[in-house]
Amino acid sequence: MAGCGHGTDGAQRYCMILRCVIFVAVFLPATAMIGYNLKRDDESQLMTLVYGLIISWALAFVVGVPLIIKHKPLSLMMWILLALYGVLVATGLFMCIRRRIIAGPKAPIAPFKKSEIIYLGLFLGIVAFQLFKAIFYACADGDDAFYIATARTAEISNRMYELDAYIGVPVDEMPFRYVFAPFPMWEAVLARVSGVHTATLAHTILPPILIIVTYILYNEISKLLFGAENREKRFMFLTLTAVFEMFANVSTSTSGTFLLTRARQGKEALACIILPLLFYELFRLARAEGELKIKDLMLLFAAFGAASLSSLLGNVLAPIMIAGAALWMLVKRKRFGNIVLICTPVIISAATVLMYLKIR
């Protein structure tokens, strides 16, 4: 197995499993600490994981695209990202410790009713089944031949989008449609840093993480829908969403199908994490009567960066959602300054699309 020396098969397997465990043990807390920078006080700790990913993706986009266009090596992208992630982990850790010190004792959690335990148990059981399937079952998808091969090629060759992912020859011209949505390069960076094979990372490690992140978002949305204290409704809702996603295979195009079959591609991140996050943000915004705080705006910027990283179409869908929110704020006669502010992240999408049209 690549990257694990020349030992026996058993030793190589042990080495690979160890690398995977170390990767998860470092990646999850680091991502959560990055996300802590944007976590609001009324949100669950689990949301730090969602925000951590969103920030990581946004930074990967901002750093990655110029480097790719300039034909710089992947290692440079890796070092810049590591430095940025390191700073954000440090600030997140500082904020986390400070909040722990300032915060008083936690309010006791009300005992669970029998029905709540049943729904929660059902939900966790279904999600555990989905994670088992994601890890131990392969779902062949032709697009992986491009996305994962592109990431693997970059990881090994240290060159980004300069070799044809399918046949391996140098390309005459970069595939700009994909260069402007370099989600595979984020995966290549993770693989290069961790020493975990890109295919293992993309097929075995990332899918369960991304699936869990989607359900964390659904959990937070359920609080807005039914109120945090209405646990029976919330857990019933979560159980139904888990069933819904598992039966969303009416076509290859639904977000549910993407969630459980392609949780390694940028399109899945867009459909199952970034757009639901924007939905959640708009929900919060509507609840706050259109009042924007600095963290809300920062989060919108990060979500737009992440949308751009995930897919070129992210530069269309994210602005449409914000346009909907702006329209609602206009109808509701909210402060004009806030309407302008909420639209500012669209600059990222507009700049990306304009650059793409100019350069392709």
Partner 1 sequence: MLDNLRDFSGSGFLFILLLVSIVFLGFRLKRGTVKTLTVYLPIFVLAIFFCPLWNIYMKNAEDGEILYRLLWMIPFAVVVCSALVEAVHVLPERYRAVSFAAAVLIIIISGKYIYSNPHFSKAENSYHVPQDVVDICDDIRIEGREIRACFPIERIQYVRQYSPYVCLAYGRTVLLGNGYNDYSQVEEFLDDEVIDTEGLTEELRRVDTPYLILKHDTDMTEKPDKYGFNFVKSYGEYDLYLDENAYLGTWTEFTDN
Tokens 């062949």, located at residue: 140
Interface mask toward partner 1 for 39-68; x: CB under 8 A: ------------------------------
Q: Are 155 and 77 in contact (CB under 8 A)?
A: no
Q: Is 245 in the site for partner 1 (CB under 8 A)?
A: yes
CA 35 to chain centre: 11
Q: Is 2 in the site for partner 1 (CB under 8 A)?
A: yes
With respect to partner 1, which residue has the nearer C-beta, 88 or 277?
277
Alpha-carbon distance of 322 to 211, in angstroms, equals 25
143-162 residues in contact with partner 1 (CB under 8 A) are 144-146, 148-149, 152-153, 156-157
Q: Which of 200, 179, 223 is nearest to 61 (CA)?
A: 179
**The one among 4, 32, 260, 269 contacting partner 1 by CB under 8 A:** 260
Alpha-carbon distance of 256 to 262, in angstroms, equals 10
With respect to partner 1, which residue has the nearer C-beta, 85 or 218?
218
Alpha-carbon distance of 328 to 278, in angstroms, equals 15
| Span near partner 1 by CB under 8 A; candidates 35-43, 89-97, 314-322, 347-355 | 314-322
163-222 residues in contact with partner 1 (CB under 8 A) are 163-169, 197-200, 202-204, 218, 221
Question: Which residues fall within 8 angstroms of residue 80, CB to CB, at 6 or more apart?
Answer: 63, 67
77-136 residues in contact with partner 1 (CB under 8 A) are 115, 133, 135-136
Query: Residue 309: what residue type?
Result: L
With respect to partner 1, which residue has the nearer C-beta, 33 or 318?
318
Q: Is 254 in the site for partner 1 (CB under 8 A)?
A: yes
With respect to partner 1, which residue has the nearer C-beta, 94 or 132?
132
Q: Which two tokens stand for residue 35?
A: 């996300």
274-313 residues in contact with partner 1 (CB under 8 A) are 275-276, 279, 282-283, 286-287, 313
**The one among 46, 224, 341, 343 contacting partner 1 by CB under 8 A:** 224
Q: Is 360 in the site for partner 1 (CB under 8 A)?
A: no
Alpha-carbon distance of 301 to 322, in angstroms, equals 11
Q: How far, CA to CA in Å, does 129 sit from each of 118, 261, 272?
A: 16, 14, 18
Interface mask toward partner 1 for 6-35; x: CB under 8 A: ----------x---x---------------
Alpha-carbon distance of 16 to 20, in angstroms, equals 6
Q: Which two tokens stand for residue 152?
A: 């693997």
